[in-house]
Amino acid sequence: MEIVILVVVIAVVALAAISGLVVSGRKKKAARPEQPESATETTTAPPAEPHVGEDAEGRPEGERRTIEEVGLPDAEAPAAEAEAPAAPAEPEVETPEPSAGRLVRLRARLSRSQNSLGKGLLTLLSREHLDEDTWEEIEDTLLAADVGVAPTQELVERLRERVKVLGTRTPDELRALLREELLTLVGPDLDRTVHTETRGAVDRPGVVLVVGVNGTGKTTTTGKLARVLVADGKSVVLGAADTFRAAAADQLQTWGERVGARTVRGPEAGDPASVAFDAVKQGTEAGAEVVLIDTAGRLHTKTGLMDELGKVKRVVEKQGPVDEVLLVLDATTGQNGLVQARVFAEVVDITGIVLTKLDGTAKGGIVVAVQRELGVPVKLVGLGEGADDLAPFEPQAFVEALIDG
């Protein structure tokens, strides 16, 4: 009997345990959402160890994360629209130095290079006995300064006569005598005005052609002349008709921008006459007072330079006469520059001379020689590399620089 009761108890305990397991399994199944039968288990792999040269995220060293990866605070978020790039700043317009009295202000530069002429003549004239040998030395000194044969002979003859009449020769008397004779030789009464006023038609600007071979400083002189005219209150348009020299137009435009002058230019190796014509046309339309045209100093074609210059002048004159033709000569070339002068004068009717680099030579007599050769005056002289070192030629100041230093 006791055995029967023990078996019944064991059966009841086992049945209770089985029921508990079934209920617990049902609760767990109800708590977990059912997965579709088609779903497959995915296993997330642990992050791989970074290779050499990569950061912890597998990105090469030095590579920045994108904004999308990092995110930015609101204050640092990029603007919806990028700001427009700033316009390039306009070049600052300079105020050139007044042209009046420039040669006087630059006199020291002139006297440093020319002083040997004046001092040499004064030393020779101060000798107690002026014999034939001394007069030959005076003549040689003048010729070495490129005064020219004919002007030298004239000056020596006048000096001999006046010294003979003078008798005694104090230093002050000799200085006054030499100053007077040299001034006469230079020509104080010549018209040295750079003519920029229109002749005839009043509805167009004055036209100035600047001619000369490359290497004389022609384009630079054109730019400096623009400064002279602007300093004198005139509005200027520049014509870059030297289309055969690389960067000549750029160089001239830079000069123009510095004083607020417009530059008319054409394609490289283009027709110089066309550029010159357009410059005068645009100058007229803009109401400018002066058009300065920088012409070619050499060509890369079979056409002769002089033929091209003649064409430029003829084409420009379809709109009115050319008011001034300035020939630029390098003063350091001395008598060799006269050969150039003769050729140009035959083609374009030179009306004035610009002598550059006059501060770099002791041959100031070229002023006399070129005037005598061409029959036209020296109107401007270059006395340095500065922007305002082009000066209207003043005979009195020039001679005083020769004599007094």
Q: List pLDDT tens digits, range 216-233.
A: 889 999 999 999 999 999
**Residue 171 domain-assigned?**
yes
- C-alpha to C-alpha distance for 272 and 260, rounded to whole angstroms: 23
**Residue 59 domain-assigned?**
no
- Kindly tell me if the per-residue pLDDT of 341 is higher than 70: yes
pLDDT computed for residue 79 by the predictor? 44
The tally of domains found in the chain comes to: 2
Whether residue 152 is found in the same domain as residue 268 = no
Whether residue 211 is found in the same domain as residue 357 = yes
Whether residue 215 is found in the same domain as residue 151 = no
The pLDDT tens digits for 197-219 are 876 656 789 999 999 888 888 99
User: For the chain, what percent of residues have pLDDT higher than 70?
Assistant: 73
Whether residue 236 is found in the same domain as residue 166 = no
- C-alpha to C-alpha distance for 195 and 165, rounded to whole angstroms: 42
Residues 6+ apart with CB under 8 A from 205: 196, 198, 237, 280, 283, 284, 288, 289, 290, 291
The pLDDT tens digits for 49-62 are 444 344 444 444 44
**Residue 143 domain-assigned?**
yes
- The pair of structure tokens assigned to 199 is 């002749």
- The pair of structure tokens assigned to 242 is 């030297």
Task: Identify the domain containing residue 169 by its residue range.
Answer: 114-186
Which CATH number belongs to the domain containing residue 167 in this structure? 1.20.120.140
Q: Please spell the DSSP secondary structure of 144-182, one letter per residue.
A: HTT--HHHHHHHHHHHHHHHHHH-S--HHHHHHHHHHHH
Whether residue 129 is found in the same domain as residue 222 = no
- C-alpha to C-alpha distance for 80 and 84, rounded to whole angstroms: 12
The pLDDT tens digits for 62-114 are 444 443 443 434 444 444 444 555 555 566 788 888 887 787 777 777 766 65
Whether residue 132 is found in the same domain as residue 223 = no
Q: Give the global pTM.
A: 0.74
Whether residue 280 is found in the same domain as residue 165 = no
- C-alpha to C-alpha distance for 1 and 290, rounded to whole angstroms: 145
Whether residue 263 is found in the same domain as residue 368 = yes
Which CATH number belongs to the domain containing residue 351 in this structure? 3.40.50.300
Whether residue 175 is found in the same domain as residue 268 = no
**Quick one: which H or E segment has residue 283?**
helix 272-286
